Every structure is written in C-alpha cells, then in structure tokens.
Structure 1
Amino acid sequence: MSKRLGIPVPEMIFGDNLVLLRHAPTGWTLAFNAFDALDAVGKDASNMLQVAYAQEWASSRDNVKEVVNPFDWSYSSTYDGTLAPGSASFAPTERAIPLELLKRRDPILFFDEVVLYESELDDNGISLYSVKVRLHEKRMLLLARLFVRVDNVIVRVRDTRVYVDFETDEVIREYTAREDSFANVKQALRMTGTLPDDLTIALRDPNILAPLIPIVESRLESVNLKR
C-alpha cells in the first residue's frame, strides 16, 4: 500500500476494513476505505506541519538541509468517500440533514464503528480516521471523521456525514472542516469549566473538541436515487 500511495502508511493501518453503502435497485455505491482515505493526504511539502520543537531541533542540526520525500505527515486527509463507477454523482443542495429526526429516540437497529487508520505522529499527537454507522427503520446516518491533534500546534476535525432517507431514497452528504491552533482549543476547553486535570482526556476526544473549533470549510450535496 505504501508503494502504491507514494507515502509511508501510518503505524496503525486497517487496510482490509471497509464501510460500503449500496442502493440495491440502482447499484449506486458509496464506500469508505483506508487506501482512498490515505490517497487524499497531501503528498508534497505544501501543507506540512511542524511539531512545536521543530525550529529548535533544526537549529541544532545545521547540516540538515532538506526533507527527503516530504508529505503531510499529520495524515490530514480530505477524503469524503468513494463513489463506484457509474454511480450517480452528488450535486450541491441547500437541504440540510434533518437533525431533529436524528435526535428522536427511534430504536437503533444497528451501530458500528470502523477505524481506517491511526497514528500517534511520533508521540506528537494523534491522527485518526474512523467511520460510524447508525441505522434506524426509516433512516440512517454515517459519520466519517478525521481527528488530528498536533500537540502545541493545531487541532483539526473533518467530518463527512451521509444521511440516507429510506422512504424518499435521498442521500445527503455534508462535509465540515474545523481547525484552530492548539492553544486556542485548550483555552476554549478551560472556558467551558473543564478542570485542568481533565484537559489531557478532553484533548483526545473529538466529540468534546469539535463544537469548540471554528468551521473553515463546509459543503452540502445530495443525490436522489428514486427510480
């Protein structure tokens, strides 16, 4: 996989894991897999991050002139799923995912979480791409989430939500990217009243961090599969 991608793979790679949604009547298919997720990682130096002590480290090694085969070592993928060939494409929409329906206490028929890859970034933080699926009788929600935290540098949360309405055969995909400096996120945590002893745990939980981080990119799109 590393050879095909052209970049090193994370230390925890789950290359056989797959989440796949298929519309039986039309064959429309949207999948999430590790290879395509990593293929959407930057493969040059344009978006490389530096760890907090990088400048100090470099100044003590004057003979180090360049990085060999630079790539985005934070594994900050922009991946939002893979449409199978021949599947109808998403188109921009203003119709948002109906959160009120998802907040209802309808029985959950199926739930699972699948991890595609994870890295501890050489003990400088975490990069994790996972997919959660929640199925109800009339609807389902998929959440594909990239969580990146480079200690003392930056925090990123990139969410792809895929909502499927079984009654209308409509699929809505929402992509939201959030990003802020590590210092700002840590300060926002303190302002919520989180005790200092809990900061380490909180900084590992994207469910806690995401609402505190400003949105830097978002888009809504949909496809109707009704025949």
Structure 2
Amino acid sequence: MSFNGAVNEHYPTPAAADESTVSHVQKGFKISARKLPISKSGPIDEMSQKLGIPVPEMIFGDNMVSIEHLESGWRLEFNAYDALDRVDKTGKNMLKVAYSKEWSSSREKTHEGIKEVVKPFDWSYTTDYKGTITKGKPFNMPPQQDAERIPIELLKRPDPILFFEEVVLYESELDDNGISVLSCKVRVMPDRMLLLCRLFMRLDGVLVRIRDTRIYVDFNAGKVIRDYTEKEDAFDKVKKSLLFSGKLPEDITVALRDPNQIAHLIPEVKHTLENLTVP
C-alpha cells in the first residue's frame, strides 16, 4: 500500500488491509479494529456515487470495528459507508429545528453549482447507525421494561483491559460552523467487553446532538446487548447548562468540543434496548 501514490489510488489491497487490522480473541469472541489513512479521491468519488450524497471531507472508508462469535460466525461490524447510508437523503429531516433554516440555506448556496446533480440531504451527517450484522441472527427488541440492560456496575470494576482501540469513521467541520464526527471505541476485559459508537454533532449557535450505540458482550453467557440513545438540545441551552454546572466562561468553549463533558447535560429524546444470545 502506497501512502504517496496517485490521489485516486484504490487502496488498501487485501493484504494491506489485513496487515492494518488488529484483533483480540477472548473466550470465543474475536474483536477486530482497522485504522487506515483518510480515503483518497478515487474511493471517495466511488462512495459518493453509491451513496447518492457527497461524503464528509474527512472520510476513513477503510476503517472498521467488528465483533465476531467464532463458533456460530455471528458478526457485527461498524464502518463508514453503512453509517453514511443511514443519513437522511431527502432533506426532510435536516436538523428538525426551525432556527436551522438560515444555516441550511447558506449551505445550499455554497453548493448551488451542484444542486442539479446532488439531492438535498442532511448536511450535518447525522446518522442513527447501530452497526451492520454481516452474518448471523438479528437482535431482538423486547418490551423495553423487559429488556436486559448493560450492567454498569460490572463495567466500573477495575478489571484489566486486554484490548483497546479507538477508530474514527468520518468527520466534517460543517463549513467551519461546528463538527460532526462518528467514531468507535472498544475495550475488552477478561469476562466482558464494551463498544461505543458515537456520533457527536455540534452546529455552533444552533444545536448539539449525541447519538450513542453501546454494544455490551458477556463472554461467559454469550449475551449481547445493544443500547441506543439519542440526545439533543439547543446550543445556547447546552452552553447555559455548562455555566450552571460551575464551568468558568473560559472553559466552556473547550467543553463544547468534548462530548464527554456535555453528554450528561443533554436531554435524552430516544432510547432503545435490544438483546441476543449466541450461538
């Protein structure tokens, strides 16, 4: 794989992709992560054509995180293409707030030269992506009061971390008006693991949005829990919440760039729990 080749070079080769993939096997589960450089123009154009929308300016099309149950072959993967395929391509659901009209209007003017070619879509790259099951049975969604929840107390235990990776799938600076980034973090302990796929979208002066997919695996019982939450609030409300929480004014700008510092301040608007047991 050449990092200095032509800008439209299609990479990685299968061998290079394998070399860039790190894996850990724990009690019958294989957890893998692949981190490669930002996609080049050839793969970007191909992806945009297939998706029907322009892709974010920083797209890591070859990156992925996966969880595989070796005995049954069940496999769940997180990748940029499938995440972007969940972005609204009609424009009908763009931001869903009245005060975003001014921003979206300016966005359309910026791209008016290609409006005949590109359909309206959610420029914030908000996705409700929960991962792609590439093999095996789907999750069950029982009545939410009966669904098994992620055992937070067990995750708080000081168990050794046997494997940890953080992988960015895509990122956009929204024409210097904020940020939209989708990334995955995975940590594996002796008896369990947790994967967090997080979309963090901040449109300055308009909206802050966090969408989290958590995958919890109990290796001993073969249980998998998928916990999905959507949180959002007006930008100014989040800013006020930071002030009321005791943040100094000079620290608020930094906090607004860090979803870990603001996630607990943003109201939840949707929450679903799904379960499955393998094999």
Q: Is TM > 0.5 for Structure 1 vs Structure 2? A: yes
Q: Using a 3 Å threshold, how does the CA distance of structure 1 residues 74 and 186 change in structure 2: closer, same or farther? A: same
Partner residue in 2 for 1:25 = 71
Pairing of 1:106-121 with structure 2 (within 5 A): 106-121=159-174
1:54 and 1:134 map into 2 onto residues whose CA distance is 38
Q: Are 1:89 and 2:133 matched, yes or no?
A: no
State the partner residue of 2:183.
Answer: 130
Segments ≥4 residues shifted beyond 3 Å: 49-58
Shift of 1:54: 3.5
Give the letter for the 1:114 counterpart: V
Name the structure 1 match of 2:92.
Answer: 46
2:48 pairs with 1:8: no
Alignment coverage as a number of residue pairs:
219
Q: Deviations over 1:84-126 (max 9, x none)?
A: 14x1111124210000000000011111100000000000100
For 2:128, what is the secondary structure of its paired residue?
A: coil
1:146 corresponds in structure 2 to: 199
1:74-223 paired onto structure 2 within 5 Å:
74-85=124-135, 87-93=136-142, 94-223=147-276
Contact in 2 for aligned 1:51/1:150 (Cα 8 Å): no
Superimposed CA distance per residue, residues 104-153 of structure 1 (whole angstroms, 9 cap, x where no aligned partner): 00011111100000000000100000000000000000000000000011
Whole-Å separation in 2 of the counterparts to 1:57 and 1:82: 34
TM-score by length of 2: 0.75
Q: CA deviation at 1:56?
A: 9.1
- Identical positions, percent: 57
Structure-2 separation of matches of 1:193 and 1:204: 17
- 2:138 is aligned with what amino acid? S
Kept in 2, the 8 Å contact 1:52–1:153? The answer is no
- Does residue 35 (structure 1) correspond to residue 81 (structure 2)? The answer is yes
Name the amino acid aligned to 1:38. Answer: L
The answer for unaligned runs of 5 or more in structure 1 is none
For the residues of structure 1 that align with 2:253 and 2:126, how far apart are their CA atoms? 21
* CA drift at 1:224: 0.5
Q: Which amino acid aligns with 1:217?
A: K
Distance in 1 of aligned mates of 2:234 and 2:257? 15
Over 3 Å counting, the alpha-carbon distance change for 1:56 and 1:28 in structure 2 is closer
Which gives a bigger RCO, structure 1 or 2 (Cα 8 Å, sep 6+)? Answer: 1
Matched position secondary structure for 2:175: helix
Distance 1:148 1:95 in 2: 29
How far apart are residue 44 of structure 1 and its match? 1.1
- One-letter identity of the residue aligned with 1:167: N
**Distance verdict in 2 for CA 1:169–1:122, change over 3 Å:** same
The separation in 2 between residues aligned to 1:57 and 1:72, in whole angstroms, is: 13
Give the residue type in structure 1 aligned to 2:208. Answer: V
Between the aligned partners of 2:80 and 2:93, the Cα distance in structure 1 is 20
Instruction: Kindly indicate whether the alpha-carbon contact (under 8 Å) linking 1:52 and 1:152 is maintained by their aligned counterparts in 2.
Output: no
What is the CA-CA distance between 1:74 and the residue it aligns to? 0.1
For 1:55 and 1:137, locate their aligned partners in 2 and report how far apart those are by CA, in whole Å.
Answer: 47
Structure 2: how far apart are the matches of 1:89 and 1:51?
A: 36
Aligned partner letter, 1:222: N
Change (3 A) 1:115 1:20: same
**3-state SS of 1:188 partner:** helix
